[in-house]
Structure formats: structure tokens, C-alpha cells
A = this chain, B = another copy of it.
Amino acid sequence: MKNIKSIVFDLYGTLYDVQSVSKLCEEVYPTMGDAIAILWRQKQLEYTWLRSLMDRYVNFEKTTEDALRYTCAHFELKLDETLHRRLSDAYLHLQPHRDTPAALQRLRDAGFPLGIISNGSIATISQVVENSKLGWAFDDLISVESVQVFKPHSSVYALAETRMGLPRENVLFVSSNAWDATAAAHFGFPVCWVNRRNSVFEEMGVRPTYTAPNLETMTDMLLEQQVALGAA
């Protein structure tokens, strides 16, 4: 990983575990927790893509609420407004993946400026980060709100480059979402795909620059390279 001077992370699925909402779903709808969390996430993404294409942007919180409404209707589950609010709030209290805090600490200690670029509104990104007590790690929290279109529209990656304040070739883009990693690679970022589930990469004409099974290994790869360069 040469010439990397700063790092920008995706939030949902990369630093934070979107399946962590399944616990509350399971509590509310016994035996259905995982199925709900999976369809909810799938629909949430679809709605961001479809609304962006239709030029009908609403913020990520609204697409999340709409996706939950669809999911409960699909499974024929009752969803009143109190329950709807309680479940939607779960997306504000996502758990970080187990390897996230230590990786961020090591990268900060090595002097890398760190940022987040997310579909979430700035209020949501801030809450997720604060609720998990990881606010110390980030120099910048970047939301698609300011461009009013979701990933993988190229405006989002251009926004990340501008806000990180460095040419794209010096910013490592880190995502667990293969479609997000695809778009970032097409845009010209060096990309690390964090392949947490041993998945197959998307077939959209480009490969990630690097692949790591988790953030710990990614951090090892980056810091070893830096040491090697320093020693050279």
C-alpha cells in the first residue's frame, strides 16, 4: 500500500455491523430477527439506488424507515408507529465490528488522518460514532447530504476526495460493500475491500486494489508497507 497518506472509511457494514439490529428485531419479532435485518438492509440499499436514479432523493433515515415498512409488510408483521420508531432508532446504535476500535487506534498512532464517507445524514453519522465512543478517531465525518445523491454516484466519491484534501491516489478508500469498493475503484481511489464474509466480488469491470478479511489485517498490511518504505 504505497503513497497512502490518509484513509476514508465507509460506515455501514465496514466500521459498524448492520446485522447488529437483528438483536432488537428478534426481541420484537421472535424467530424473525435475522430474516428481517437482511431484507431491511437489502431494501434500504435498493431504495437509495432507485431514488438516486429517479432523482427523488430523501435522506438515508427516511429510506431506512421506508425499507422497514416494506420489510414488515412483506413478512405480514404488525408495525405501529412506536415500534417503527424504536426499530429505526436501532440504526443509530449500531455496534462497531469487533476489530474496529483497535484498528482505528493503530492507524491514528501511525499518524494517518481518518474520515468517514457515508450515505447517512451528518446527524446520524455523528450519533452512531458518539454512541459507540469512537469520536476521537476521526478528522472528518462526510455525508452525502451535501450532494443529495447516494453512493455509488460519482459525486459522492468526488466529495470524499475534496474533503480529505488530498489527490485521490493518496487516499485509501475502505469498504466492505463490494459495490461501493467497485465505484471507488472506478473513480480512481486505491481501494481496500474488507471481505468480512468471504464473499465473491462484484462483476462490474474493476477489481479492488487490495483485499483483506478484516480491518486488523488491513492495518497490518498498511503499517508493514510504511515500515518497509521507511527502512528503504
A interface residues, Cβ below 8 angstroms from B: 46-47, 49-56, 58, 66-67, 69-70, 73-74, 150-154, 179, 182-183, 186, 199-200, 202-205
> Given A69-B203, A70-B202, A74-B200 in contact, is the A183-B152 Cβ separation under 8 Å?
no
Kindly report which residue of chain B lies nearest to residue A66, judged by CB atoms. Answer: B203
Extra A-B contacts (4), CB below 8 Å, given A50-B152, A53-B53, A56-B205? A46-B49, A49-B49, A53-B153, A67-B203
Interface of A: prevailing SS: helix
The CA-CA distance from A25 to B50 in the complex, in Å, is 29
Count of identical protomers in the assembly: 2
The CA-CA distance from A151 to B182 in the complex, in Å, is 20
> Given A55-B154, A66-B204 in contact, is the A179-B46 Cβ separation under 8 Å?
yes
The CA-CA distance from A161 to B203 in the complex, in Å, is 33
> Given A53-B52, A152-B53 in contact, is the A47-B204 Cβ separation under 8 Å?
yes
Output the least CB separation between A158 and chain B (Å). Answer: 12
Kindly report which residue of chain B lies nearest to residue A203, judged by CB atoms. Answer: B66
Give chain B residues whose Cβ lies under 8 Å from the Cβ of A51.
204
Tell me whether B47 and A49 are in contact (CB under 8 A).
no
